[in-house]
Amino acid sequence: MRMRTLEISVGAFVLAGMLAVLFLVIQVSGVNMNTSETSYVVSARFDDVAGLRPRAKVSMAGVTLGRVKSIEVDTDYGEAIVRIEIDGEPGSLTTDTSAKVLTEGILGARYIGLLPGSDDTKLKDGGEITETQGAIVLENLIGQFLTTLGKD
């Protein structure tokens, strides 16, 4: 009998631990099962991504559509190649969609904002967004401001 209560309490402990892990995975990290099922990848080239990170949000009209999958640099052209994972089936974005690197708030994280175009053709899996605008870097802005000041 003593042995039995011991085994029951050990079993309950292990179960509680497992449930805790499950809770952490589902509720705390918020794994979304259906995002991983269908998604497609498009790429975009930016002249400057300034602090954009993998897993950053990609949104249109403030609604998250996907995430940044990877960021590489093309040293020949000095451009960043950003691969974006968009949720759902291909066909939700037009080929002339434009992408901008934006900032959440003043000090917030960088994210990519998409603006829809008017083309009839849609972006396929592996397609490329050509209309892009890189991040606004404060130093460049100040530099431009100073040169315009100098012209007067």
**CA 117 – CA 68 distance, rounded (Å):** 20
Q: Is 91 in the site for other proteins (CB under 8 A)?
A: no
Q: Is 13 in the site for other proteins (CB under 8 A)?
A: yes
Nearer to other proteins, 35 or 95 (CB): 35
Strands 79-87 and 98-103: unpaired
Which of 1, 28, 33, 149 forms a contact with other proteins (CB under 8 A)? Answer: 28
Which of 6, 115, 141, 142 forms a contact with other proteins (CB under 8 A)? Answer: 6
Q: Is 54 in the site for other proteins (CB under 8 A)?
A: no
Report the residue count for the chain: 152
CB of 94 to other proteins, least distance (A): 28
Q: Which residue has the tokens 């992408």?
A: 99
Per-residue tokens: 32: 């979304």
Q: Is the distance from CB of 98 to CB of 129 less than 8 angstroms?
A: yes
**CA 69 – CA 43 distance, rounded (Å):** 10
CB of 119 to other proteins, least distance (A): 32
Contact residues for other proteins (CB under 8 A)?
3, 6-7, 9-10, 12-14, 16-18, 20-21, 23-25, 27-31, 55
